[in-house]
Amino acid sequence: MTSTEQGRRKYDELADRYEEVFPYVADVGRQLITFAAPQPGWRVLDVGAGRGAVARAALDRGCVVTATDASQGMVARLAADFPDITARQMDAGRLDFPAGSFDLVTAGFVIQVLADPGMALAEAHRVLAPGGMLALSLEKQSVGRLRWLYELASEFFGIPVPDDDDENTGAMTAKKLTVLMTDAGFVDLTAEPVAMPVPLADASALWDWLAPRGLGDAVRSLPDERAEQFRDRFLAGAEDMDTGGGIKLDFQATLHKGLSAAPS
């Protein structure tokens, strides 16, 4: 199975519960549309639309919205939930639209998961009318107060501990995205940060949050004794975090926008 096929299958499986698994998506989708500030009647294309967090915010502003996603499951749910949105299955790097078809292209938390983000940005530039706008949200990889958990995962699963300030990890960053947008022909670039805190009640709540997001499968792959050791140390670390200021997942993002330069 290729990485693209694996990604499609993952999002097909998440289609019914995507915004429950990632509850900040809807709020940041609204913020991205506020940031872009489209006018009623604008032709908007939302790429990698998922369940429609960005697309439905644009619809609420009176825009004419087309949404694409590589996952057929996501597209089916989006079309059923929002019949006023034209939903189509499509890859971000091969958009089946004529040049100059849209006034605004959006992508919420999409660019960092694409195998070739440069191609997707070039396609966004192609389908925009001259002077049209691209608006993106980018999730920031941040360790913060969860460093203890990353270190624990590194010990048990061999997962490298990320560095908040390392531009050489291969992850998409705001600086890298700025370069890619410029290379794709976008001008007048602006960006602003977004905080997405998710407070949790206690150590058990943190476990319950992470278990369906991959932690449960990882722990089940361990021998029984190691799995018990991991869980005990996880709960101890979470309780220390709770007493040291509370358990809050400090998700962060940046919003980016730029204008499509006219062909030279």
pLDDT the model gives residue 159: 84
pLDDT the model gives residue 1: 26
pLDDT the model gives residue 96: 97
Task: Kindly tell me if the per-residue pLDDT of 141 is higher than 70.
Answer: no
SS3 250: strand
Task: Kindly tell me if the per-residue pLDDT of 18 is higher than 60.
Answer: no
Q: Which CATH superfamily is domain 3-141+166-198+250-260 in?
A: Vaccinia Virus protein VP39 (3.40.50.150)
Query: Between residues 245 and 213, which one has the greater pLDDT?
Result: 245
Distance CA 39, CA 103 (A): 10
Average of per-residue pLDDT across 151-170? 76
Q: What are phi and psi of 21, to 5 degrees?
A: -70, -35
Q: What is the pLDDT of residues 205-236, one digit of tens each?
A: 899 888 877 898 999 999 999 999 999 999 99
Name the pTM for this structure: 0.80
| 67, 107 contact by CB (below 8 A) | no
Domain-by-domain residue ranges, the chain? 3-141+166-198+250-260
The 43-47 sheet, strands edge to edge = 86-89, 64-69, 43-47, 102-108, 128-140, 247-260, 186-200
Q: What is the pLDDT of residues 56-102, one digit of tens each?
A: 999 999 999 999 999 998 899 999 999 999 999 999 999 999 999 99
